[in-house]
């Protein structure tokens, strides 16, 4: 999504916390990368202390920044983590925004990781949706460029009492195999279209590369880097 002209040139440190990797990238005020994407594996037993230690190691490799944008795999409200199904229970009720502001003395915004990734891809017109196919299943929906916060499609019951994430997350991919997983994804796309009436759908995450069926013209596979590139746009929208 095109960014508005900023009042002041501000560099954004963008952080993408995932179930398998923690990534950072420094962006300029127009949303263009100033560094390569830097990555460390998500620690085993990924408590806040251990994940933040990985973030600190990555941060030490970049130059000065003015503000921070974080994408986190769970429900986030006002910088507080409410769910972290693919990380650790200690994240629940953890104020990640306040913690990073205290450490780094910089303003911080935290949002769901799929929502941040979507900000880098959306056109800002009509109803647009993103699904991220990774360790879990990320989701976000926008109307005319505005995020509708709190959507967590992953844990909605879908088939025989199992959730979307049971079938479409990393565990589902391993259990059902590529062919069955693709059929399930195609079915889920039809279900979301009927439920949300989106006009444009974006598919991201590490397993988006495993999609082997033809997508309609209004469905687009997007880069994993968008999970970081959307960080600058996050600062030009309501948190």
- CA-wise closest residue to 58 among 109, 104, 99: 104
In this predicted model, what pLDDT tens digit does every residue of 139-162 receive, in sequence order? 999 999 999 888 889 999 999 999
The CA-atom distances, in angstroms, between 113 and each of 76, 139, 183 are 9, 9, 25
| Per-chain mean pLDDT for the chain | 93
Domains (range + CATH), the chain? 12-116 (3.30.420.40), 123-221 (3.30.420.40)
Picking from 80, 86, 92, 116, the residue whose alpha carbon sits closest to that of residue 18 is 86
Confidence of residue 98 (pLDDT cuts 50, 70, 90): very high
Phi, psi of 78 (to 5 degrees): 55, 40
pLDDT confidence band for 5 (50 / 70 / 90): very low
For the cut 60, the answer to whether the pLDDT of residue 125 exceeds it is yes
What is the spatial distance between Cα 140 and Cα 132, in angstroms, rounded to a whole number?
9
**Which among 39, 69, 68 is positioned nearest to 54, based on CA atoms?**
39
Instruction: Give the tens place of pLDDT for each residue, 181-192.
Output: 999 999 999 999
Sign, CA dihedral 170-176-177-178, equals negative
Region 202-221: what's the mean pLDDT? Answer: 96
Q: Which residues contact 154 (CB under 8 A, 6 or more apart)?
A: 85, 136, 137, 138, 139, 163, 164, 165, 169
Going by the DSSP 8-state scheme, the letter that residue 33 receives in this structure is B
Q: What is the arithmetic mean of pLDDT over 74-89?
A: 94
Residue 9 has pLDDT above 90, yes or no: no
pLDDT of residue 104 exceeding 70: yes
């Amino acid at each position: 999504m095109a960014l508005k002209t900023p009042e002041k040139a501000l560099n954004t440190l963008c952080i993408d916390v995932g179930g398998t990797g923690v990534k950072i990238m420094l962006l300029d005020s127009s949303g263009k990368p100033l560094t390569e994407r830097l990555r460390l594996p998500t620690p085993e037993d990924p408590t806040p202390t251990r994940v933040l230690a990985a973030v600190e190691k990555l941060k030490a490799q970049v130059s000065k920044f003015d503000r921070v944008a974080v994408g986190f795999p769970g429900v986030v409200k006002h910088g507080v983590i409410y769910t972290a199904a693919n990380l650790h229970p200690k994240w629940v009720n953890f104020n990640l925004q306040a913690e990073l502001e205290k450490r780094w003395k910089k303003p911080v915004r935290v949002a769901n990781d799929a929502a941040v990734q979507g900000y880098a891809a959306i056109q800002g017109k009509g109803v647009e949706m993103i699904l991220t196919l990774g360790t879990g299943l990320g989701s976000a929906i926008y109307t005319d460029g505005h995020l509708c916060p709190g959507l967590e499609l992953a844990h909605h019951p879908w088939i025989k009492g199992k959730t979307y994430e049971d079938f479409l997350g990393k565990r589902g991919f391993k259990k059902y195999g590529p062919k069955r997983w693709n059929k399930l994804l195609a079915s889920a796309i039809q279900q979301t279209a009927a439920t949300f009436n989106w006009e444009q759908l974006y598919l991201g995450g590490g397993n988006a590369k495993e999609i082997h069926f033809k997508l309609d013209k209004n469905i687009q596979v997007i880069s994993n880097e968008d999970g970081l590139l959307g960080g600058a746009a996050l600062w030009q929208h309501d948190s």
